[in-house]
Copies of this chain bind each other. A is one copy, B any other.
Amino acid sequence: MNIAILGFGTVGTGVYKIIKKANRQTKDLHVKYILIRKNKPETMPEMTDNIDQIVKDDSVDVVVEVIGGIEPAHQYILSALRHKKSVITANKAVIAKYMDEFTNVARENNAKFYFESSVGGGIPWIQGLERALRIDDVDKIQGIFNGTSNYILDRMKKDKKSFDEVLLNAQQLGYAEADPSADIDGYDVANKLCISADIAYNTFISPDDNLPVFGIRNISYEDLVAFGKKNLTVKLLGKSDFHDGKFDYAVEPTLCAATSMEANTPDNFNLISLHGNTVGDLKFMGQGAGQLPTANAVIQDILDILQNKAHLERDFNSGFEYVPNLMKSDYVVRSEMDIRNIFAEYQVEMHGDYFEIKDVPTGEMHQLMAIVLKQDGQAFMASYPKEAREVDSDESSEVRWEFSR
């Protein structure tokens, strides 16, 4: 099986490495091309800067797109599919945006379009979700989808450091990018949750649809201490619930009970969960990024094609509908200003610098919080779901709100 790798950065190099170290199952994989940028030196015989040479070569079976970004990745993927090549990509941004187009063009050309590595890195999440859907309706997806933000929250708490200190350190170590926005503002999670929801509900939801996304940029070490006193840990979660043909969607900091699996997901790990009507709760934890885990997931997709293990078919015609205010949650907001007039419709309690707001629909909460942010750019919010209040041990149930700095 002949493979072309588009892009030879971290993941592309990892794919090449795993294929070269052939085992019994991967020995039939052969890297024929590596697409590099124009004017870069061709240091290996497989290298070319000519995408047409790749897509027009009939001997190429699979194109692995690991360039990243929207263009030219989008056009390269379409071109490969139209030349009846199967495409595997780790590029969550381009998949989330063009999932419907890629799926349709792949079907029209009898090609495969697989993307296990795009969500959860080495975790078999897409495969686990598709497998669950063979039997069950999946009515809940929730997870820690971004390793960088999880690493930052974990180190802040354990090292007693500010957000900025930990971020800078993460950037120096190469765990966070120079422009960290995608990771810390929730857009990376948003893309991964779009991809997951597309599959779970067989409905296309675009990251351009003004979705409720709130990141961790404004969290302080003092917030973590205040939440910790109530045996709560903040995690940046992507989440979606399904109910009667409707689903909601949110990316937001969320208070998790200190004894939950989410709260104890350390370092840069991801933990992604689903609930199905017969299988119940399933949680998948592993390396959500990194060269070899991500490349491993790319190779898994290649092997699925080689071994003719077809993935779930999607047409995005389920008729299920995204409803921003389907679910309600309690929220905690930290703001220097008195926000009670903005949340006048809701029950608001004040605890030191924190407001606890009861039973707010998700979409509504994010809209009102946008108003808060216009006046207080440092304000922070986290959802405070009922599950986080259910604590078993005696000691913790005696602890009351003690927010104050």
Contacts and interface: CB of A to CB of B under 8 A. Distances in A.
A136 to B, nearest CB: 7
A260 interface: yes
A124 B135 contact: no
A286 B131 CA distance: 14
A282 B293 CA distance: 10
B259 A261 contact: no
Given A158-B392, A266-B259, A285-B285, A279 B122 contact: yes
A279 B296 contact: yes
Contacts of A283: 283-286
Which of A134, A261, A263, A277 is the most central at the interface, judged by chain B CB atoms within 10 Å of its CB?
A134
A203 to B, nearest CB: 16
A287 interface: yes
A93 interface: no
A344 to B, nearest CB: 39
B286 A281 contact: yes
A182 interface: no
A307 B307 contact: no
A25 B131 contact: no
A309 interface: yes
Q: Copy number in this complex?
A: 2
Contacts of A127: 131
A265 interface: yes
Given A26-B135, A135-B26, A158-B392, A280 B293 contact: yes
A368 interface: no
A111 to B, nearest CB: 19
Contacts of A136: 296
A180 interface: no
A210 to B, nearest CB: 32
Contacts of A225: none
Interface in A298-345: 299-300, 303, 307-310
A135 B309 contact: no
A135 B23 contact: yes
Nearest to A308: B308
A351 B14 CA distance: 49
Contacts of A300: 131, 134-135
A18 interface: yes
A392 B156 CA distance: 12
